[in-house]
Amino acid sequence: MTSPAVMVPTSTATERTSVVRDIVRRYVVTLIVLSAVVAAAPSFVPHGHAPARPRMFMDGLFGNWLQWDAWWYVAIAEHGYTYRPRHMSAVAFFPVYPLVLRGLAATLPGGVPVMALLVTTACGLATLLLFHRWCAARLSPAGSLLAVSVMAFYPYAWFLYGTAYSDALFLLLVLSAFLALEADRPILAGLIGALATATRPTGVVLVIGLVAVALDRRGLLGGSSVRSRFRRSDAGILLSVAGLAVWCMWLAIRFGNAFAFIETEGARGWNQAPGLRTWFKLSFFDHIRHSPPSVWIPLVVQAVLCLAFILSVPAVARRFGRGYGIYVLATAVVPAISTSDFMGVGRYLLPAFPVFALVGVALERRRLAARFVPATLAGTLVAGTALFASGYYLT
């Protein structure tokens, strides 16, 4: 039986303001620490194998945030899309984030790289604030803050603090869509969802999640009673598919291939083409057998995390409803299936925010763990940030 969300008393405006200030303060401190790590890490960590990255204003301090896929996003924002069949191409990267960068860079000083870091920073902070709002309706004040800490210190959360990647923007849109749906504004949720599905290839999980939560809110997923009748306006959540549809239409018109982003994922170097080799993770097992530990350990860590998130689904469904359980399952399974060796899954799990809330609930009951777990996570976040800034491909 699906359990309704546990509601807690509404806090006063003064309490809400105090919480917001606390989250902002913690975020700023973490950002400063991680930025110092990014600047200093290449001096004491052996360099990895990252390709040449973009350069920016105050490059010595902030430039190492621009590793790996940042080159693609900056190039798209500056020069537009390119596509070469069966080769790594810019069409693998969805358009909303680079469009935002291009628009801001055209009106504000600093250029695209500076705008990329500022957009990610702003979206990262807004994400934590919106996540707290979602938690506050379900958890105690202490549990809500612990949940925010777990997300903020998640080992791959450096994508919320300064990288030129679309993850922070995507997560902000995901949370905004769910909050709009819970405010009984399904059309708005669908419109926000459309932006999300045009931001990341994994945006389809949001469509699944919105539909599942909407059905659960109407008591159509096997709950004990119908909470309210299904209305025509509820179909507004299906607008979330529009972002992906418009992107495919543009690719068809511009390059003659509506699914060019899928085709280019299979190019040599990315090797993520749909098929048995990807679905059965043959590359993953090849790496374990033949690659050095520095290669396969990050893959195993991400595989274990993926399994942990999947195993959390029943608990998420019991605590927050079956709709959110289905959403978490989709968020973990879709990238797990679509990657050949689990590379990338670590950050793809960030949108599975109900799992972080679940951990916050568990920590609230254990005073020692409530101190130890966030501190340990913060240590892994610092270590991961240092390695990323030094050119190691971790996720």
Number of structural domains the chain divides into: 1
The answer to whether the CB of 322 falls within 8 A of the CB of 221 is: yes
The pLDDT > 90 percentage for the chain reads 73
The pLDDT of residue 223 is: 56
Task: Specify burial of residue 374 (Cβ count, 10 A radius: 0-12, 13-18, 19+).
Answer: buried
- CB count within 10 Å of CB 67 equals 24
The pLDDT of residue 17 is: 84
Confirm whether 151 is domain-assigned. yes
The pLDDT of residue 365 is: 85
Confirm whether 238 is domain-assigned. yes
66: which DSSP letter? S
Confirm whether 365 is domain-assigned. yes
**Phi, psi angles (nearest 5°) of residue 193:** -60, -35
Cα 64 to Cα 40: distance, rounded to the nearest angstrom = 9
Angle at 80 between CA 76 and CA 86, to 5 degrees: 80
Q: What is the mean pLDDT of the chain?
A: 92
Cα 74 to Cα 71: distance, rounded to the nearest angstrom = 5
Task: Read off the pLDDT of residues 303-324 as tens digits, 9 standing for 90 and up.
Answer: 999 999 999 999 999 999 999 9
Confirm whether 98 is domain-assigned. yes
Q: How far is CA 344 from the centre of its chain?
A: 11
Confidence of residue 276 (pLDDT cuts 50, 70, 90): confident
Task: Read off the pLDDT of residues 87-120 as tens digits, 9 standing for 90 and up.
Answer: 999 999 999 999 999 999 999 888 999 999 999 9
Confirm whether 2 is domain-assigned. no
Task: Read off the pLDDT of residues 199-245 as tens digits, 9 standing for 90 and up.
Answer: 999 999 999 999 999 999 888 887 544 456 677 888 999 999 999 99
* Domain span including residue 339: 13-263+272-389
Mean of pLDDT values over 60-84: 95
Mean of pLDDT values over 190-195: 98
The pLDDT of residue 11 is: 59
The pLDDT of residue 278 is: 85
Cα 258 to Cα 146: distance, rounded to the nearest angstrom = 43
The CA-based dihedral angle spanning residues 358, 133, 164, 117, taken in that order and rounded to the nearest 10 degrees: -140
pLDDT at 6 > cutoff 60: no
Confirm whether 235 is domain-assigned. yes
Confirm whether 3 is domain-assigned. no
> Structure pTM?
0.93
Confirm whether 315 is domain-assigned. yes
